[in-house]
Amino acid sequence: MKTYVITLSKIFPAYHPRRGQETDFKGKLYRSEKITTIRGNYAWWKKRFDEIAAGRAKLSVREWLDKPYKSKQVTVKEYTSLHGIGIQRCDVSTADNAGSALIRMIIDQKPIGNELGLRVIKNDGLEVQDFIDWFKKPIKDGLIIHFTDLRY
């Protein structure tokens, strides 16, 4: 069986104002406070989720022990079927203009409103400003990976 890996950052990345601080994504995943993750490359992930659905692959959610790509990973959770997980297309762009946040999200090719946008941010395990700082680079043709049955 193939294993597809998705890693959660243990610390905020170097470009983020909170760089080096713990994200607690692993704990938030266990406490159901992080029930999604946003990634780029929908087509690449879609193929992998199709294989998981067919029973030929599993999804391994892992966490870097220290710095991403420079440390070992530990498995947080594994999914061997699509029961409880899934994907949705998503585009994200953010801006912080003199303290006024602008977040634009399109899910399944439909623009979403502010209320749902705030829910997406919370479900990703981040505060609004942390989300803006994390996603300074827009994601086009990305996806939301759901770790529950929730869909937007």
Please report the pLDDT score of residue 68 as a whole number.
79
Please report the pLDDT score of residue 98 as a whole number.
66
Please report the pLDDT score of residue 99 as a whole number.
64
Please report the pLDDT score of residue 114 as a whole number.
85
Please report the pLDDT score of residue 70 as a whole number.
84
To the nearest 5 percent, what fractions of the chain are helix, strand and coil?
Answer: 25, 40, 40
Per the domain annotation, does 31 fall within a domain? yes
Q: Pairing mode, if any, of strands 57-64 and 73-79?
A: antiparallel
Per the domain annotation, does 76 fall within a domain? yes
* Structural domain containing residue 83: 2-146
Per the domain annotation, does 24 fall within a domain? yes
Please report the pLDDT score of residue 45 as a whole number.
97
pTM value? 0.91
Per the domain annotation, does 152 fall within a domain? no
Per the domain annotation, does 16 fall within a domain? yes
Domain count along the chain: 1
User: What's the rounded Cα separation, in Å, for the pair 41 and 27?
Assistant: 26
* CB 132 within 8 Å of CB 120: no
Per the domain annotation, does 49 fall within a domain? yes
Per the domain annotation, does 151 fall within a domain? no
Q: pLDDT truncated to tens, each residue of the chain (152 aa)?
A: 999 999 999 999 999 999 999 999 999 999 999 999 999 999 999 999 999 999 999 999 999 887 778 889 999 999 988 888 999 999 999 877 666 667 899 999 999 988 899 999 999 999 999 999 999 899 999 999 999 999 99
* CB 18 within 8 Å of CB 135: no
Please report the pLDDT score of residue 100 as a whole number.
66
